[in-house]
Amino acid sequence: MHLVHTHCAGLDVHKKTVVACARLVQEDGTRTTHIRTFPTTTAGLLSLLDWLLSLSITHVAMESSGEFWKPIYNLLEGNLTILVVNAAHMKQVPGRKTDVKDAEWIAELLAHGLLRPSFVPPAPQRALRDLTERRSNLVQERARVVNQMQKVLEWANIKLSSVVTDVTGVSARAMLEALVAGSTDVSALAELAKGRLRAKRAELEQALCGTLQAHHAFMIAQHLSHLDFLDEQITAFDAAVETAISLGGRPSDPDAPTSDDGESSRAEAALSEAGTASWQAARTLCDAIPGIGKRIAETIIAELGTDMSRFASAGHAASWAKLAPGQNESAGKRKSSRIGKGNRHLRAALIQAAQAAVKKSETFLAAFYRRLAARRGKKKAIVAVAHKILVIVYTLLKTGECYQERGATALDERQKDRLLQRLQRRIAQLGYTVSLEPNPVTAT
């Protein structure tokens, strides 16, 4: 078997220790193997780096095991060529597994060039990922707290959510705080409504008449305090993400755009100058796509990046994100297959964008969803729309073009000839003969 790397090492990573197997092949073909175990503390990992450099190791491979590979990658990055590989791609024969054999097997595969590295973004993008992922977790936690508070209101037979859309809105928040403070006058509570909600004061009086007990009031007060804390955290992370976005694109350019004036023109200028969109320009390009807002655009940039040259095509990007079904063909028949487990943060953002995009009825994405949902169901149609959005994002970031809405009739225009033939054939089956002629175009 052809030897690719003569000085390489395989790492079997665990929470407390990392087993390293260095594989050295001399010019005369002599092979030596060195195996050592290091702790995963910073001092231990620095010792690992010194040991690898002392053996003239050039390439290192390790499994992408949870979060444990990240500190090792951070400390070895810049000194060695590091490959983070999918564990499923290099399974050993069962029954002969130890940590040492795992490290030896990884080193053996690396030496012969049989490992395919996973995509690990550069350090600034990894930092942006940490911020956006934590912000997403905070938003999800806030939603859980709101649901828990809603359960407490139901236990107290307070049907506030039956009247108001958001139980954390300004009016509902004032009513809840008054309830926690001990107010029992439902008329006074209903008077706290603001804006259009004042027209529902009679309904509010009925909804606020419940059996609130002391422990219910205590739990609601704690939930409201928790929501205030989460809101502060989300605001802080929004500011941190905004700072990272503004610095991540062109930190050395003092004239880099920082405002929203002329966004499209600046986005195209950034692409034409560098060949790769700055983070601000990429966010502007993505934000123009139906269903994608500022927050989702930031998540897409953090997970996908702006350099599309790492993906051979839009199909490769969709396969990496696991938004394309796998191939399952046997005996010449292609069977249905599910999407795999990929980047869950990117996929969640694109699914959320798809659910928002299909609500805009006069768009191409909404028309595409309606057509597919009628045949395949709503869930598969939403995933298909998310896949379509990813293809659009890939194209915009690769070419620098701005998004152009094709409209809800674009699908019919694209399939007009086939549609006319199908309808004409159907009419003929019903016993009629028709002749199709286009309407003359009238000048306006």
Asked if residue 182 has pLDDT above 80, the reply is: yes
Residue 223: inside a domain: yes
Burial tier of 16 (Cβ tally within 10 Å: 0-12, 13-18, 19+) = exposed
In whole angstroms, what is the distance from residue 23 CA to residue 33 CA?
5
The answer to the question of residue 413 being in a domain is no
Range of the domain at 162: 125-245
Q: Which of 58, 83, 111 is the last residue of a domain?
A: 111
CB–CB of 384/368 below 8 Å? Answer: yes
Judgement on whether residues 276 and 384 belong to the same structural domain of the protein: yes
Whether residue 237 is found in the same domain as residue 264:
no
Task: List, for residues 369-391, the tens digit of each pLDDT value.
Answer: 999 999 889 999 999 999 999 99
Query: What integer is the mean pLDDT of 302-324?
Result: 90
Cβ density class 131-140: b for 16+ within 10 Å, e for less = bbeebbebee
Whether residue 411 is contained in a domain is answered as no
Lowest mean pLDDT among 38-42, 274-278, 354-358, 397-401: 274-278
**308, HSE (Cβ side, Cα atoms, 13 Å):** 22
In a shared domain, residues 322 and 357: yes
213 with 324, same domain: the answer is no
Average pLDDT, the chain: 87
Which residues neighbour 369 within 8 Å (Cβ) at sequence distance 6 or greater?
354, 357, 358, 381, 382, 384, 385
- Name which of 234-248, 295-309, 369-383, 418-432 the model is least confident about: 418-432
Give yes or no: residues 232 and 261 share one domain: no
**In terms of pLDDT, which residue wins out, 248 or 178?**
178
Please check whether residues 267 and 207 belong to one and the same domain.
Answer: no
Is 444 within the bounds of a domain? no
The helix-helix angle for 214-248 and 170-180 (nearest 10°) equals: 140
Please tell me the predicted confidence (pLDDT) of residue 277.
59
Task: State which of 245, 280, 314 marks the end of a domain.
Answer: 245
Write out pLDDT tens, residues 204-262. Answer: 999 999 899 999 999 999 999 999 999 999 999 999 999 999 987 444 444 444 445 55
What's the CATH number where 26 sits? 3.30.420.10
Specify the pLDDT at position 396.
Answer: 94
Q: What total number of domains does the chain contain?
A: 3
Backbone torsion region of residue 44, taken as left when φ is above 0, otherwise alpha when ψ lies between -120 and 50, otherwise beta: alpha
Q: Are residues 183 and 262 in the same domain?
A: no
- Domain annotation covers residue 440: no
| Mean pLDDT across 26-40 | 92
- Whether residues 129 and 220 share a domain: the answer is yes
pLDDT-derived band at 117 (thresholds 50, 70, 90) equals: confident
On the 0-12 / 13-18 / 19+ scale of CB atoms within 10 A, 406 is middle
Higher-confidence position of 49 and 255: 49
pLDDT at 272 over 70: no
199 shares its domain with 148: yes
Tell me, yes or no, whether 137 and 74 share the same domain.
no
Say what the pLDDT of residue 92 is: 60
Higher local confidence (pLDDT), 214 or 416 = 214
Give the per-residue SS3 of 52-85.
HHHCCCCEEEEECCCCCHHHHHHHHECCEEEEEE
Hunting for tokens 């609130």 — which residue is that? 212
pLDDT at 278: 86
Predicted pLDDT at 442:
63
Residue 414 lies in a domain: no
**In the listed set 111, 135, 163, which residue is the last one of a domain according to the structure?**
111
Residue among 387, 382, 349, 355 at smallest CA distance from 139 = 349
- The confidence band for 264, taking pLDDT boundaries of 50, 70 and 90, is very low
Residue 167 lies in a domain: yes
* Residues 16 and 93 both lie in one domain: yes
Residue 250 lies in a domain: no
Rg over alpha carbons for the chain, rounded to the nearest Å, is 29
Quick one: average pLDDT of 419-436?
Answer: 86
Residue 294, pLDDT score: 94
Calculate what percentage of the chain has a pLDDT beyond 90. 60
Q: Residue 64 has what pLDDT?
A: 82
Say whether pLDDT at 274 is over 60.
no
Same domain, 365 and 236: no
Task: Say if residue 164's pLDDT is above 80.
Answer: yes
